Structures are given as C-alpha cells and as structure tokens.
Structure 1
Amino acid sequence: MSTQPQDSRPQTADLENPLYYLENMETVLRWVTTHHRDLLLTTEYARLIGFFDLSRSARALLTRMVMRAGELFRADKLRYPELTVPEAEALAELADRGWLESEPRLGLDDLFRLYTLAELRPVFADELARLGLPKTLPKARLREAVQPDFAGVLPVAEWLGHDRAPVVRVRHMALFDRTRLMFFGNLRQSWSDFVLVELGHQRYEQVSLAPDSRAFHRREDVDCYLAMHDCRQRLDEGVPADAVWADVPAASDNPWLTSRRDRLLLELGRQAERQGDRDLALEALASSGHREARLKRLRLLERMKRFDEAWDLARDWQTGELSDAEAQGLGRILKRLASRMGATIPRVTPAPPIQEFTRTLVPPSSGSVEMAARDDLSREDAPAFYVENTLINGLFGLLCWQTIFQAIPGAFFHPFHVGPADLTREDFVARRQSSFDRCFALLEDGGYRRVIRDNFADKQGVANPFVIWPVLTEELLTLALDCIPARDLRVLFERLLLNIREHRSGFPDLIQFFPDAPDAGRRYRMIEVKGPGDRLQDHQLRWLAFFASNDIAASVCYVRWQSDGECG
C-alpha cells in the first residue's frame, strides 16, 4: 500500500520502535518531496515517491544500506532482525523495483574491500605460486602482487565461484545525496548521524518555516554545491590542487554558497602551497573572501620574498576593520616587513599586563589539572566552577534565544536545526541587528534577568548552539546573574558577536564567585588554569587582554605539582 508524502510538521520517531530509523528517513523524504519538488527532475521525484510504494521491510533494508558507507554490499552481511521478512526477499524486491543492481561487476579494489584475507587467499593461490610468493602474504601485499594481472572488472561469481553469496549495488545513491543536501543544506551531516542520533536524541526549537526558508531556491545552486563538495573531496584524497582548480565553480550571487566557495578556495590555496605550486596558492587565496585567506596570502608573499607586494597589501588592509585575530596576525607581519622595507615599525598599543598566580598542589589520583585547581580554590563563601566556554556563551544564548531562532530566509531549512545555518557567516548579526539591539537594551533596564530565567525554564533541554544544558545548572545561573554585572555581560556579548566562530572559544577554564563582596563589580573572577609545561594560546591571550582592557577580573593560575616530601 502506498504511503504518500504529507505536508505536515514532521515528528521524530519513537526510539522504542525497532524501525525508528526508517520513520526518520521517511520524514526526510516526505519533507524534500513536498518542499523541494521544484528542484527535482521529474524522474528524481518519481523515484523518491516510489520509495513509499516499497514494502516496509524493503524500505527498511534500503535505508540501512543508504546509511552505510559505499554502494556495494555483501548479501550475507545484511542481517537485520527487525525486518519482518528474510533479507533475501527484501533484496529481491529492491532489485525488481530498480533500487539495486543484483550482479554488479567488481574491480580488484572492490573485492579486497568486501572480503577478508582468509576468503581471498584461495582465490589467488595459483597466482602467488606462479609468482613464487608465499601464500601467507598480508592483504596489502597480496593486492599489490596480483594487481598487474587482475585489472579487469567481473561479477562476484567469476571472481570467487558460484557458491558465494551475491553482492548488490545500491542504485541512485547520488539522488540520496542530493536529497540529503536539500534537507540539511550541507553534506557534512551523514544519514547515520541524523537518522540514528540527532532525530532520536535531541529536542529542537520550533521555528516557523516560510516558503523561502530553504537552503536552495534554484537547482543550479544545488549543482554548484555538489560540484564544490566534489572538489573538496578530491583535495582531501590528495588530487593535485591544479587539477581541482579547473573545476571550482564560478562565483555565485548566493551569499551562502559564496561563503562555502571561500572556504574551498582557502583549502585549495593551502594544498597548492604544500604541493609547491605557490603561484596557484596565491591566486586561490586572493580569490577567497575567507578571513584566514588574507593572512595566509601575506605570509606566503613573505616566504616568496615578495616584500614590496606584501607591504602594500598589509598597509592597505591595516586601514580596514579587523577582528582581534586578524589585528594580532597583521601586527606581527607588519613588524617583520617594516624591518625589511627600512620603514618605521607601526606603533602597536601594548597589551595590558595579565594577572598571574601560582598554586602548588598534590597531584590528584584522577581528574584534570583544571579540576584540581577548582577544588583547591573553591570555598563555601567563594565557590568555583569549571565552565570554560560554556557559561558566557550560555548566558548569551538564553538572553538572545528568540533572536538566534528568528525565522529569516536562509536560516532554517527544516524543523531539526540545532542553530541557524548562517550562524558563522559575516552577515549573521547584520541580518538581525534590530533584534539584537532589543536584547542588549534589556541589559540596560534590568529586564535581562527575567528573559534569561524564563528561557532557562521554558527551553530546558532544547538544542541551542550556545547552551550546554548539563553544565548550566540552576546554582551556576543564579550565581552568575547575581555576581556578573550587566555592564560586563554587555561587553562580553558584544565581543562574541564580532566573530562568533573565533570568539566562542578561549574563555578561561574556571569562574569563582564572591557573592558577599561589598563591591558589586568585584563579585567574580575568571581563571585560566595552566599545568606544568602548558602555555597560553593566542585566542586565550586575546580574551585575557580584552578582560584587562575592560576591567574584568581575570587571571592565569599556573599549577605546579608538589614533590615528594615537599610541604604544601
């Protein structure tokens, strides 16, 4: 009986259902065939609709294969007890309906991937004897030895004999990938991650989805993404950068695709430099609008001793708006270039001093150095918590929850987003500026406490890219709201929004509260813990410098371990 797609808000499957993964797959296919039909060819749409005409067991078995890696599967390895019919019967139905190729031709690589060494040795025993090689060769050596004389493709029966269980190939895997892309808006999330994990184990904010709330509005955009994904895969597989460069799609008028193309060109430039093609690396980096591309281009020009060109670019870039990381990196480059050019070294505002102290502790029998420092510092009237990047991000996420999940075009494509798709794009804040302004106004009139507490209660357990629920307890939230002044929260949140990708990390490990301190501005301090031999990273240094510049109490605790016989 056909199960036709329905245009209703999808729900996650009950994990008690042994076929919950099939229900979740059907959720995705219904969503795509309903909301993205105009991006599908007639044949593609018919094929996806045909999925629902298969028997339940056939649909489940096909879903299992789609979630696994590759397209080739041994029939004798497909064992799923939740099916209501034998696997062979479901395979026969899938082959009959055109979803499987029942006798695919296999190359040597396929054969060695699908079968064990014990299964392969008898097949090539005669060849090894002819070559005068021992029959106990390991798998990689065996493949290398027989490869010259077995370069063709054959059905499994001709490789291994007719008594072997068949091998099947899933057809239309490219259509499943296209479907996954249209649903997620990316190919980073795999079927297995989503169908088996995310849908079943997370709760999602209910965002209103309008017709323009889609990852793609033109089929050409889907094709462009797939082409860029293929380029990136080839780079990861070691294909020379110059071979991939020719296939990089042209620049798009889609801001979201443009950001992905910028990242691709950044990686292509890296690979080209590693492969010794510096001219291509410079061209790729110059074509990329990614933040990191500019610094990498300048450093490459330095290594190529093209100091005049690097100096002109650096001085021009210095006049623009820079993130902290860019300003730090550019300052170092300008200092080096100035000495090469005989120019005056640009004046750099000295970083404020970082507060430090040392604790000598007994090495703990278990746990980290951060936890040891927390336990040592914590007192009943001054509790310390291990928070690292969770507390300030969490307070921001609770205050700005409704803004983060604002339903604007290109932010949410389906009902199962952890956060907006444009979260780390440079226009994320600009597209929501008025809404962020209203959030920050609450820090001025005191309304932020109510909003944070209301969202903490109402959204408990709902996925948010800034909120880690197990860490953000009622006790920690209460102390943070009582002890951290609204003025401090504002400057911290403002810096976070300058570069979300970069500034979400680098916060100190610990926070200690002093709720009874008479000075309301000195009721907390942040503490970065460094064990023996550890040192501060650049992003940590930038946060510590920011704290010092904004009169926020923060320091570095250097831990040394107490030696045997040493008094505490």
Structure 2
Amino acid sequence: MAIELEPEYYLDNFRQLTDFVTVRYSDLLDLDEARFLSDFAVLSRDAQKLYVRMLTRKGDVFRRSKLQYAEITDIDEAARELARMDFIDTNPSLSLDTILKLFSKPEITAAVGDESLNRLRRDELEQSLLADATRIPELIACVASLDELFLLCRAQVFDTLKLLFFGNLRQDMTEFVLKDLGLYTFAEYSLDDESRFFHHRDQVNAHLHYYGVLDQFTDDDLQDASRLTELIAQLPVAPQEDRVLRRRVERVKLKFARQLERLGDLDLALAWYRECQTPPSRERQSRILIQQSEIEAGLALCETILETPRNEEELVFAQSFGARTARKHKHPWRKIKAYKPPEYSLVLPNQGQRVEMAVQNYFNESVATDSAGDNTCYYVENTLINSVFGLSIWEMMFASVPGAFFNPFQIMPSDFYERDFVECRKPLYEQWQTRVSSSDELSRCVLQNYERYYGQLNPLVFWGNIEPELLKTACHLIPITDWQHLFQRIFTDIKHNRSGLPDLILFHPDGLNPEFDSPLVTDRSYQLVEVKGPGDKLQKNQLRWMTYFAEHDIPHSVLNVTWDESP
C-alpha cells in the first residue's frame, strides 16, 4: 500500500535538520546563522511553512500567484510576517532579465502592449526587450505589475545548515522524503559528539569555499585552460587531518588536470597530478611522461605502482601499460604469464531462458548428488560472497569513527572506499578477524546480523538474493581459509573488487554424479562457475578474480554454453 506523506512533512523535516544542527554544531555557527535559527523558531507555523516551501524550490524570486498551498491557512499574512522578520523582500529591486524569466510570453507581450512580439521566439523576445536600455525601467514596472514578487532572503544560511547536517551540498531534503516513503531503511549508527566531523569554524568555511569554487564552474570552462587553472588555484588547501576535504579537492584537481591534458597543456596537467595521491594520478603522470619521451621516468612510475598499488585499476594499468611501453621501446620488463582458467563446454536446449538459469537447472537436475533432494546450484554472481562479507563486517562498517557519518541518511561510511578504511578501524578489524576464524564463528556472525539488520541499506548486502539457508550452507561448505582469502581481496579495493565474481555456486558435499564428465574439482565441497553464452568472453575483472582463485586454490571454472537449436 502506498504511503502518503503528512501535509506538513516538509516543515517537520526542515525542523529536524535545524534541530540536529542546533544540538550538534551550535558552537560553530556564526552570528547570522544563529540569528536565522532563533528568528525562524519564533515564526508562526504558517510563516515557517511558506518560507520552507520557497527555500526548497528552484530560484529565489517567486510570484505570489504561484504560491498556492492548501495546508497554509493565510499565505498573505504569512508573507507579511516573513517580510517583517527579513526572511523575504516583498518589494525587491530586480533586473528586467530576472523578472522576464518569471512570466510567460503572452503575459509579457500583454503587459508591454505589443502583440507583435508574439511572433518572436522566447529568447528573441527577451533580447528585444533588453536591447533598449532607455525603456528598461518602464518595462520593469509594466511586467512586475502583473503579480506581486517575493525575493527570498537569508537563503545562503541554508547551505551552511545543509553542509553541517549532510556533510556535503550534494544531498538535499529529498533524503528525508525517501525515508518517509519507506523506500530506504538506513542502518543505525552513532552520531554522538565524539564522532562529529566538523570541529572548528575554519573547517566549515573551507568546505563552503570548496563548493563555492564548484558553483563558479561552467561547461564552457572545460575549453579554457587558463580558466581551469584559475579555478584549481582557488580550491582550498585541505589540512592533513581533514581527509574528506582532501579527497574532494583531489577529485576536482584530477578532473581539471585531465581536461588540461586533453587541451594539450601537459606540463601543467603533470604538475597538478603530482599534487594528488588519489588514483588515477600516477597513471596519468606515467602516460604524460611517456608522451613526453621520458620513457625511463614513465616506466619507473609503473614499477612503483606495481610495488605499492593504491587500487585494483591502478595495478592493472601498470601491468598492461608498462609491458606494452617496455616492449615498444625495447626496455626490460617483468613477465607476467596470463592465467587460463579451466574451461569446458556444454550444449543445452534453447528454452528461452537466460543462459545462467539454464545451467543452474541443468546442474540441479544432473550434476550433484544431494540425498535431501534440495537445490545444490545457485545463481549468485556478485551477491553471495559480497553479502557474507558485508554481514560479517557490519559492526566495523557502521562503527562510530570521526568523520565517517554526518547524518542519518548514509548507506555507508564516507571513507568506505578509501585506502585507509581498515587503518582507521584497526581494533575493530582485529575483532572481525576473530569472528571469521572458523566456519562456526562466521556462520553465527552472518546469520545473527542477517536477522538483526534485515532490510537495512548496506552497499554489499543483497537482501533480495540471499536467504538464511543459503548463507548457512555457504558458510559451512566453503572452507574458512577460502572465505578469508575472498574477504582479503575485497578489502584491498572494495569499490572495484566487489564485482567480477562468478555467476553460479555449485555445492556438492556428497560428491558429483560420476556420469558427469567435466573439469570440475571432485574433491571439494563447492565450485564457483562462470557461465558464458555464445559469443560471450571473460571480462578483465572476472579473469583477475580467477587468477586470484588459482593462486589460493579456490575451485572455479568457466562453462561455455551453446544452444541446441534442433527441433
């Protein structure tokens, strides 16, 4: 059944935000922000509703006739109250350009008394009226007289409030609505004073300054190297302890440096890349150095990446690009033999199923011998291993760590995909290692967390694809050493290594059907099987996983399916 929001849901949500900021960050508010909160608190409920309605709409100038809200008893009285308290200006001095955007073309032409203007396109109409500077005051008066105009005031304070609540200016009040509608159930985590992110006003100002620089950016700037350089130079210098701002600033620097590279300003792009630690900074440096014929330096950087990769993509780049470059320029390079996983072929009747489902049915009917007659093959792809991992690290993921959680609407900590995620939770990581030290411990932890947190958002847990019986079977039939290897690889680069896992898992604790002839490993209790239909090939991330499987004796294979089209 659809959930209906209360008529005043938006005001309740806004007050939840302001209450949160007041309790958590009152010591960091400047005089204007503190006065905004105190003034807003004494407004009548109608005035509060009208202000929040305007505040959360696009733009800052509104026509009175367009403000129609059934839940506000007297909009005109609410507007007068807002004007008295300096929340809106009911007699604003506005440019003609701003006013014109508020009215339709027929309204404008009727106001100025020139029906011939109707023949013009909208942009031509505005250009025509703006062209005669001597008539602009008269035109402003004519068009503005069509409706009462309200200019929203003190709206800049909202940016600070949103920053303090969300930790960014990307999220907005729709987060509340999604939760109110029951679309999202967020995990529970502490938002106590010890774990708050902002600690001093300079830090708040630095983040506001960062977003202010982004607001200046336009698509036209992408073609102007000097403008990009100017914007980069305006970015705040992030202190070492503010890991969030450092990541944000680096992402912008990397984006702009990449554009400088495209524009041909390689030296400047290289200089900006060298100021960044985040991938792909070293990859881009290496590419530029090779392009500038600095072969030794470019290959040396690839070697450094191979020794200390910062994520999976960077490692793959260094392996492939380094090898190609060394071969082209006749430089020595380490040889890495490509792994070829065990493969076999299968012909199945084409019954209109997805190929993975057809193979799953085939395995359940033909391959494994299960005395209970239960399914022994499951289509899991990236869902099972990630879900077991995500359930096992739940307490570590949602632990109270400074700067990890800003507000109640996060599906993961802010540093979840960062290299120092584990380092910042070392005691918790050591406790987690104890939890996964045996199959019984892992099973107990995973099943308890499944029941305790069912339905709560976690980027690794796929509630719709897992059930307790499958989790229990997987925890007991996959040896704990295999689980530990799987977990460790995901930990090295959670963002990239959570994908590329095989399609199917086949359990066969009682052995395989002896009539089944394939390269499946017969002395193990399970198999991971990647299914490929006609014309399909292994992706690079899938092959990397299988290479890792081979290194750690994790049973796996590739099954190539062709369809039997005979009648």
Output the amino acid matched with 1:80: Y
Name the CA distance, whole Å, in 1 between partners of 2:305 and 2:48. Answer: 56
Please tell me whether the aligned partners of residues 105 and 155 of structure 1 are also in contact (alpha carbons under 8 angstroms): no
- How far the C-alpha of 1:139 sits from its partner, in A, is 3.5
Of residues 231, 235, 238, the one that matches 1:248 is: 235
SS in 2 for 1:287: coil
Counterpart in 1 of 2:496?
502
Counterpart in 2 of 1:399?
392
Please tell me whether the aligned partners of residues 312 and 496 of structure 2 are also in contact (alpha carbons under 8 angstroms): no
Q: Kindly indicate whether residue 262 of structure 2 is the aligned counterpart of residue 280 of structure 1.
A: no
Counterpart in 1 of 2:30?
41
Counterpart in 1 of 2:426?
433
**Worse-matched range after superposition: 369-378 or 462-471:** 369-378
SS in 1 for 2:280: helix
- How far the C-alpha of 1:330 sits from its partner, in A, is 0.5
1:318-467 equivalent positions in 2, closer than 5 A:
318-353=306-341, 355=343, 357=345, 362=350, 364=352, 379=365, 381-445=374-438, 446-467=440-461
Provide closer, same or farther for how the CA distance between residues 210 and 195 of structure 1 changes in structure 2, counting only shifts above 3 A: closer
1:151-170 equivalent positions in 2, closer than 5 A:
158=141, 160-162=143-145, 164-170=146-152
Name the CA distance, whole Å, in 1 between partners of 2:121 and 2:541. Answer: 47
Provide closer, same or farther for how the CA distance between residues 306 and 31 of structure 1 changes in structure 2, counting only shifts above 3 A: same
- How far the C-alpha of 1:328 sits from its partner, in A, is 1.4
Counterpart in 2 of 1:8?
none
Provide closer, same or farther for how the CA distance between residues 42 and 322 of structure 1 changes in structure 2, counting only shifts above 3 A: closer
Question: Superposition RMSD on alpha carbons, in Å?
Answer: 3.4
How much identity, in percent, do the aligned residues show? Answer: 31
Q: Kindly indicate whether residue 175 of structure 2 is the aligned counterpart of residue 188 of structure 1.
A: no
Provide closer, same or farther for how the CA distance between residues 66 and 338 of structure 1 changes in structure 2, counting only shifts above 3 A: same
Q: Kindly indicate whether residue 246 of structure 2 is the aligned counterpart of residue 258 of structure 1.
A: yes
Provide closer, same or farther for how the CA distance between residues 353 and 515 of structure 1 changes in structure 2, counting only shifts above 3 A: closer
Counterpart in 2 of 1:55?
44
- How far the C-alpha of 1:549 sits from its partner, in A, is 2.8
Provide closer, same or farther for how the CA distance between residues 523 and 92 of structure 1 changes in structure 2, counting only shifts above 3 A: farther
Provide closer, same or farther for how the CA distance between residues 103 and 539 of structure 1 changes in structure 2, counting only shifts above 3 A: farther
Please tell me whether the aligned partners of residues 186 and 456 of structure 2 are also in contact (alpha carbons under 8 angstroms): yes
Write the deviation string for residues 257-285 of structure 1: whole angstroms up to 9, x where unpaired: 22222212111212222333332221221
- How far the C-alpha of 1:374 sits from its partner, in A, is 5.2
Of residues 178, 186, 192, the one that matches 1:197 is: 178
Output the amino acid matched with 2:395: Q
Using the size of structure 1 for normalisation, the TM-score is 0.84
Provide closer, same or farther for how the CA distance between residues 541 and 350 of structure 1 changes in structure 2, counting only shifts above 3 A: closer
Provide closer, same or farther for how the CA distance between residues 306 and 56 of structure 1 changes in structure 2, counting only shifts above 3 A: same
Name the CA distance, whole Å, in 2 between partners of 1:329 and 1:80. Answer: 56
Write the deviation string for residues 426-462 of structure 1: whole angstroms up to 9, x where unpaired: 2110121232222222332321111111111111223
Of residues 475, 481, 487, the one that matches 1:481 is: 475
Name the CA distance, whole Å, in 2 between partners of 1:320 and 1:220. Answer: 34
Counterpart in 2 of 1:70?
59
Counterpart in 2 of 1:297?
285
Give the gaps of 5 or more residues in structure 2.
222-226, 366-372, 513-520
Name the CA distance, whole Å, in 1 between partners of 2:84 and 2:357. Answer: 60
Provide closer, same or farther for how the CA distance between residues 567 and 18 of structure 1 changes in structure 2, counting only shifts above 3 A: same
Provide closer, same or farther for how the CA distance between residues 320 and 203 of structure 1 changes in structure 2, counting only shifts above 3 A: closer
Name the CA distance, whole Å, in 1 between partners of 2:166 and 2:205. Answer: 15
SS in 2 for 1:289: coil
- How far the C-alpha of 1:143 sits from its partner, in A, is 4.8
Counterpart in 1 of 2:370?
none
Q: Which has the larger radius of gyration?
A: 2
Name the CA distance, whole Å, in 2 between partners of 1:160 and 1:46. Answer: 35
Please tell me whether the aligned partners of residues 127 and 146 of structure 1 are also in contact (alpha carbons under 8 angstroms): no
Provide closer, same or farther for how the CA distance between residues 18 and 312 of structure 1 changes in structure 2, counting only shifts above 3 A: same
Write the deviation string for residues 132-172 of structure 1: whole angstroms up to 9, x where unpaired: xxx4444455556666557998799636251x233323222
Provide closer, same or farther for how the CA distance between residues 343 and 154 of structure 1 changes in structure 2, counting only shifts above 3 A: farther
Name the CA distance, whole Å, in 1 between partners of 2:343 and 2:134. Answer: 67
- How far the C-alpha of 1:309 sits from its partner, in A, is 3.3
Counterpart in 2 of 1:4?
none
Name the CA distance, whole Å, in 1 between partners of 2:317 and 2:134. Answer: 51
Please tell me whether the aligned partners of residues 483 and 523 of structure 1 are also in contact (alpha carbons under 8 angstroms): yes
Counterpart in 1 of 2:368?
none
Please tell me whether the aligned partners of residues 405 and 419 of structure 1 are also in contact (alpha carbons under 8 angstroms): yes
- How far the C-alpha of 1:525 sits from its partner, in A, is 3.5
Please tell me whether the aligned partners of residues 74 and 168 of structure 1 are also in contact (alpha carbons under 8 angstroms): yes
Please tell me whether the aligned partners of residues 443 and 487 of structure 1 are also in contact (alpha carbons under 8 angstroms): no
Please tell me whether the aligned partners of residues 382 and 512 of structure 1 are also in contact (alpha carbons under 8 angstroms): no
Name the CA distance, whole Å, in 2 between partners of 1:165 and 1:338. Answer: 71
Please tell me whether the aligned partners of residues 197 and 403 of structure 2 are also in contact (alpha carbons under 8 angstroms): yes
Counterpart in 1 of 2:11?
22
- How far the C-alpha of 1:352 sits from its partner, in A, is 4.1
Name the CA distance, whole Å, in 2 between partners of 1:60 and 1:153. Answer: 35
**Worse-matched range after superposition: 331-340 or 233-242:** 233-242
**Worse-matched range after superposition: 149-158 or 197-206:** 149-158
Write the deviation string for residues 399-430 of structure 1: whole angstroms up to 9, x where unpaired: 12111122122222344433222212221101
Please tell me whether the aligned partners of residues 512 and 526 of structure 1 are also in contact (alpha carbons under 8 angstroms): yes
Please tell me whether the aligned partners of residues 228 and 264 of structure 1 are also in contact (alpha carbons under 8 angstroms): no
- How far the C-alpha of 1:289 sits from its partner, in A, is 1.0
1:505-524 equivalent positions in 2, closer than 5 A:
505-514=499-508, 516-517=510-511, 522-524=524-526
Please tell me whether the aligned partners of residues 199 and 416 of structure 1 are also in contact (alpha carbons under 8 angstroms): no
Using the size of structure 2 for normalisation, the TM-score is 0.84
Please tell me whether the aligned partners of residues 382 and 514 of structure 1 are also in contact (alpha carbons under 8 angstroms): no
Output the amino acid matched with 1:52: A
How many residue pairs end up in the alignment? 542
